[in-house]
Structure 1
Amino acid sequence: MTPTRAGRSFAWLAAAALLLAGCGVGGDGSGGTDPGAAAGIAPGADVVVPPVDANDALAARVPGEIRADGRLTIGIEPTYPPNEFTAPDGTTVVGMGVDLGRAVADRLGLTAEFATGQFSGIIPGIQGGRYEAGISSFTANPERAAVVDMVGYFSAGTSLVVRTGNPLGVRPDELCGRAVGVQAGTVQVEDVAARNADCTASGREPIAVTELLAQTDVTLALATSRIDAMLADSPVASYAVTTTGGMVEVVGAPYDTAPYGIALSKDRGGYTDAVRGALQTLIDDGTYRAILDRWNVADGAIGTAEVSG
């Protein structure tokens, strides 16, 4: 029997509760776990991602202190599906960024080890040597590129998401007087603050901003009608539509598009070039596209891996 909308909604809320319960639990996601193994997590779980062989020339450019233990320690904040998040088992980290991090490590002859932490602490952790890379949907902006190298791997913008059939007709320039959710520490915080300032300056009702630590909490708040809309990165918005059984929908096209970047320490010899080269080979041989197809985010595909900073 095909489930009703209410049935799909209940199932999604139950799954969301499991996901939210797992978001604070650490897990390295290593050991060869197939990131599409948990049913329903990856929208295109039937997409085959080919094994990734090491490239000896690129591997030789990785600094010896990173190659010494055979691991590439990657910092992530796993509450941002479908990019990086914790599976319902509460320990395994999965997502588009996790798949890419694992593939880059494999190409460099290393094993990816994912270390979870607060989003705001990952770049300082790279600078301090705690992490050897950071893959956590970091927009490659000038401020970040000033302190770390950023190897671009995906093009994302901001999307507005509302409940399906929302009669308010909300658009990005019509948020005054509405309850809008964003995840703390994201570019959407600054976005909604600027929009709110415009609302008050023009004598309109202010935006009631709900800022939550986890994007999964923001999505759940929208699906359960605690907010009217949310602003989120475009792949996150698309995934919310997929995983809520149509309870929410994206309004219009993404705006303020910019690349995500793999964050790396500066001044480490050929390390940044090795990571950029590894990513480019994955783009060229189709592995990159297969990963994006697995997570239904191919709209953000890039053709050339470039370095900012």
Structure 2
Amino acid sequence: MSWLKTLAAAAALQALVLTPAFAGENLDQIKSSGVIKIGTEGTYAPFTYHDAANDLVGFDVEIGRAVAEKLGVKAEFVEGKWDGLIAGLDANRYDAVINQVGITEARKQKYDFSDPYIASKAVLIVEQDNEDIKGFEDLNGKKSAQSLTSNFGKLAEEAGAELVGTDGFDQSIQLVLTGRADATINDSLSFLDFKKQKPDAPVKVVAEKADADYSGIIVRKGDADLVAAINEALAAIKADGTYEAISQKYFGADVSK
């Protein structure tokens, strides 16, 4: 039966190799180094991008810095393309990713997430003087400017709208403004960013879906202490008004829920 013992020993060794870092190890390393390394794109305004002076700025960047401050360390950002951004966690390029990463069941199988720090909802947008469309049900028989493969396009189609294909939010809004479409269903964050940049644009939100999609700070699997510390930091910046100030700066509204 010695072969069984050998097999058992090999299995135990494999399990040990595959076991996540000891609890608290990542947090201890971050605190001892005085730095939390954060992966981000740097090309996704208004969340993470470079300003005219080429400084890295954005909603996610400021959230990352605020969280780092509550942890008692500095934020060091490591930029990378979206396609390999989350995989950079596996390669230990950084400790966390803050880049509007949606919290999904599939991702939760491999990584850990903080509590949600931003919410996005589907909103119905029309021209300022439009009084015919007050809810999603009023889209029946109307033209809705949509990216044809998006979930927003599916919502419009389900409501009975005739879809007018576009390349994304900016083109959809332009079709509404020029009267070539009656409405668009789109992302609440994109709308808030647009209105922040162009407050006089004659468009308005008349309805929103109750269900929201949430993004969180994503880290390697297996360190509950790091997740707990990040969650505590997020709660602290919401309690002391830091989150509200950042939210108002970039969106003119509270985007936490």
Q: Contact 1:71 / 1:113 at 8 angstroms: preserved in 2?
A: yes
Is 1:130 paired with 2:93?
A: yes
Q: Distance in 2 between matches of 1:73 and 1:97?
A: 10
Size of the alignment, in residue pairs? 227
Deviation at 1:248, TM superposition (A): 4.7
Alignment of structure 1 residues 209-220 onto 2, 5 Å:
209-212=165-168, 218-219=169-170
Are residues 1:68 and 2:19 paired?
no
Q: CA deviation at 1:132?
A: 2.2
Structure 2 CA distance, aligned partners of 1:115 and 1:220? 31
Give a deviation string over 1:94-150, Cα, whole Å, max 9, x none.
222221111111222322233333444332333343332222223323233222222
- Please, which runs of 5 or more residues in structure 2 have no aligned partner? 1-23
Matched AA of 2:249: R
| Contact 1:99-1:291 within 8 A present in 2 as well | yes
Contact residue 40 and residue 48 of structure 2 kept, 8 A: no
Instruction: Note the residue ranges of structure 1 that are not aligned, 5 or more in a row.
Output: 1-58, 183-187, 213-217, 303-309
Mapped contact 2:152–2:186 kept (Cα < 8 A): no
Cross-structure match for 2:79: 116
1:240 Cα deviation from its structure 2 partner: 0.7
Query: What residue is the counterpart of 2:124 in the other structure?
Result: 160
The one-character-per-residue Cα deviations of 1:176-231 (angstroms, maximum 9, x if unpaired) are 6543248xxxxx923324544x48xx7x74x233345xxxxx32663476874554
1:189 to 136, 150, 159: 150
Structure 1 residues 177 and 282: CA distance shift in structure 2, 3 A: closer
Is the CA contact 2:145–2:172 (under 8 Å) kept in the aligned structure 1?
no
- Length-normalised TM-score, structure 2: 0.69
Task: Select between 170-179 and 101-110 the one with higher mean Cα deviation.
Answer: 170-179
Aligned ranges 1:5-20 → 2 under 5 Å: none
Change (3 A) 1:297 1:242: closer
Q: What is the identity percentage for the equivalent residue pairs of Structure 1 and Structure 2?
A: 22
Paired residue secondary structure (2:254): helix
Q: 1:282 aligns with which of 220, 237, 257?
A: 237
Quote the Cα distance in structure 2 between the aligned partners of 1:171 and 1:61: 48
Residues 160 and 84 from structure 1, CA distance in 2 versus in 1: closer, same or farther, beyond 3 angstroms?
A: farther
TM-aligned CA deviation for residue 237 of structure 1: 0.9
Aligned to 1:266: 221
- TM-score, normalising length from structure 1? 0.59
| Pairs within 5 Å for 1:146-157 | 146-151=109-114, 152-157=116-121
Out of 146, 151, 158, the position equivalent to 1:180 is 146
User: 2:173: which partner in 1?
Assistant: 222
Deviates more, 1:146-155 or 1:223-232: 223-232
Q: Which amino acid aligns with 1:86?
A: H
Q: Is the contact made by 1:137 and 1:260 (CA closer than 8 Å) also made in structure 2?
A: yes
CA distance in 1, matches of 2:81, 2:204: 27
- C-alpha distance after superposition, 1:223-280 (max 9, x if no partner): 4768745544323211211212422523223322233211111113521111111112
More helix by share: 2
**CA distance in 2 between partners of 1:296 and 1:194 (Å):** 24
